[in-house]
Amino acid sequence: MFQHPFHLRGKTVLVTGASSGIGRSVAIECARAGARIILTGRDQARLDGTLAELDGVGHVGVVADLTVAEQSARLVAAAGGLDGVVHAAGIDGLSPVRMLRQSFMQTVLDANFMAPMLLTQQLLATKALRNGASIVFLSSIAAHTGTAGVGPYSASKAALEGMMRCLALEIAPRAMRANALAPGMVDTPLVNGDRDWLDQKAAMYPLGLGRPEDVAYAAIYLLADVSRKVTGTQLHLDGGIPWT
């Protein structure tokens, strides 16, 4: 019988930021693809809501703020053996440079860069990631384009991609892979407070705004064995928006 190659059956996948938005969609779609999900977020009620949406059995929710070392370590201990990770947790970081404060810049870097990288370090150090595991970081086209006022966010995602490429080489001997997804604007609760503004932005995208499931499907590709030769790269999901 033909077995479709785009599946995650038999895999355990950790999804951060799973209580809303892209992370929530990634958890739901990965479960539909057959994975057992370890999901984490900072809000117990919303995390429970995601957990209730997952197909299959054996899923585990762990409340954790990944910028807090002790909580990140607790997540690692609860995760057990993993075949994949999707680092979807993060925050926006909007500030023109002339108004930038060091404390704000550090907050953005802690959430969008330090937290996923240090969690990855812990997963590797404790051997929680099995040979052949796939690590997926959620980046952004903001790492490749210039937009006034988006500097802190852009910097955090550019740092993430830069370190991801080095990580990919370090983990290759264990047949592990590291990649990033770089979507354009995605219609999530993080951005959809002002519909008029969002509609104006949507007009800039030839293929329209992204949806959370668009990113989730791309994550499934990078987690699945079908992409076993793809590493150290970023997949752009930019809807065809001109970069210049």
Q: Which amino acid is at 113?
A: F
Instruction: Look up 153 and say whether it is catalytic.
Output: yes
**Domain 12-237 - what CATH class?**
alpha beta
Cα–Cα separations (whole angstroms), residue 104 to 99, 156, 163: 10, 12, 22
What pLDDT is attached to residue 241?
80
CB atoms closer than 10 angstroms to residue 150: 18
Q: What is the pLDDT at residue 243?
A: 66
Residues of the chain with pLDDT under 70: 1-3, 189-195, 197, 243-244
Task: Quote the pLDDT of residue 76.
Answer: 97
The answer to whether the CB of 104 falls within 8 A of the CB of 152 is yes
pLDDT at site 151: 93
Selected catalytic residue, list 11, 153, 154, 156:
153
Q: What are phi and psi of 112, to 5 degrees?
A: -95, -20
pTM of the predicted model, to two decimals? 0.93
Give the pLDDT confidence score for residue 96 in this predicted structure.
92
CA quadruple 50, 136, 14, 229: dihedral sign: positive
Which residue of the set 140, 205, 221, 229 is catalytic?
Answer: 140
